[in-house]
Amino acid sequence: NPYILATLLFGLGLGTTITFASSHWLLAWMGLEINTLAIIPLMAQHHHPRAVEATTKYFLTQATAAAMLLFASTTNAWLTGQWDIQQMSHPFPLTLITLALALKIGLAPMHTWLPEVLQGLDLTTGLVLSTWQKLAPFALLLQIQNVNPTILVTLGLASTLVGGWGGLNQTQLRKVLAYSSIAHLGWMILILQYSPSLTLLALLTYFVMTFSTFLVFKLNKSTSINALAISWTKAPILTSLTPLVLLSLGGLPPLTGFMPKWLILQELAKQDLAPLATLAALSALLSLYFYLRISYAMTLTMSPNNLTAVTPWRFSSPQLTLPLAIATTATISLL
């Protein structure tokens, strides 16, 4: 029903906006809750057992994270008499809130729900979950000052490593994208303390690249690596561009995805954290392997030539192709 859909999307926007605009922890918490409640019907809309299971898992983790956040902010108000987001001073609520937000966006080691949830969803809802749902928690992470840098660095490094290793033995594209998301978030968290503007840049480029990838898979109607092998017959032009999109996600030099990684490594080196930068750069190689694997499945495998499937790409819907064209161009050539 378009009215219900409009209401849910409005709720999704409203929740994030409330969190953006709030300087009081209660209001921020309320925004996050509205956000969660609005996406749940969207996740369960297909009434598939997997979708319902994914929705339940998502609801439970988000509710836990929100409860942790509320508990931490109340504790902070109790200890310091402050409800203001930017004036957090006590280390205990600070740590707790950082962990709650990490659980909300799915940073390692609180990441295990993300691949499971994403796997049960439609690609469009999956896209919303991978992009829009990360905005509100990130706004809060950017606002809280004087967090212990060790916590953030540990979370960031663990996420890049888990995101790299976890994606290696996956055959389902949505799970691969989930692990890729964890790795990218790890990079953002690594630099959060030292250069928040770089975190925002990384977030923005990640959004553009993920948008492009999800739309490609949606156009191909593929959810596993095997299904990609016949994408030549479905969308030949797109199939030859997709490896560039995937390599951009991996962060290879002439493509857009290289920019945030380059700047992040440079900033880490400036902060005398060369070993950390080296580890992060090496963990990016892990992710590169599975992006290459997907590219290989798409472009270097010959598909069985069935004449019935040769033409669908000529009649693809304009509401999908225009954003896809924009996102793909941006992903490949914004560097």
How many angstroms separate the CA atoms of 228 and 12, rounded? 32
Contact 3, 41 (CB under 8 A): no
The structure tokens listed for 62 are 């988000």
Instruction: Tell me the domain boundaries of the chain.
Output: 148-332
The structure tokens listed for 230 are 């016949």
Phi, psi (degrees; rounded to nearest 5) at 202: -60, -40
How many angstroms separate the CA atoms of 256 and 46, rounded? 35
How many angstroms separate the CA atoms of 32 and 188, rounded? 20
Note if the bond before 109 is cis, omega within 30 degrees. yes
pLDDT of the residue at 92 = 95
Summarize pLDDT for 239-286 with one digit per residue, the tens.
889 999 999 999 999 999 999 999 999 999 999 999 999 999 999 999
pLDDT of the residue at 98 = 97
Q: Which residues of the chain have pLDDT under 70?
A: 303-316
Distance of CA 284 to the CA centre of its chain: 16
pLDDT of the residue at 304 = 64
pLDDT of the residue at 303 = 64
How many angstroms separate the CA atoms of 77 and 261, rounded? 37
The structure tokens listed for 196 are 């928040």
Distance of CA 146 to the CA centre of its chain: 25
The DSSP secondary-structure symbol of 172 reads B
pLDDT of the residue at 271 = 96
How many CA within 13 A on the CB side of residue 93? 26
Phi, psi (degrees; rounded to nearest 5) at 84: -75, 135
pLDDT of the residue at 309 = 53
How many angstroms separate the CA atoms of 38 and 11, rounded? 5
- Planar angle of CA 120, 226, 185, nearest 5 degrees: 50
CB atoms within 10 A of CB 148: 13
Phi, psi (degrees; rounded to nearest 5) at 26: -65, -40
How many angstroms separate the CA atoms of 93 and 25, rounded? 12
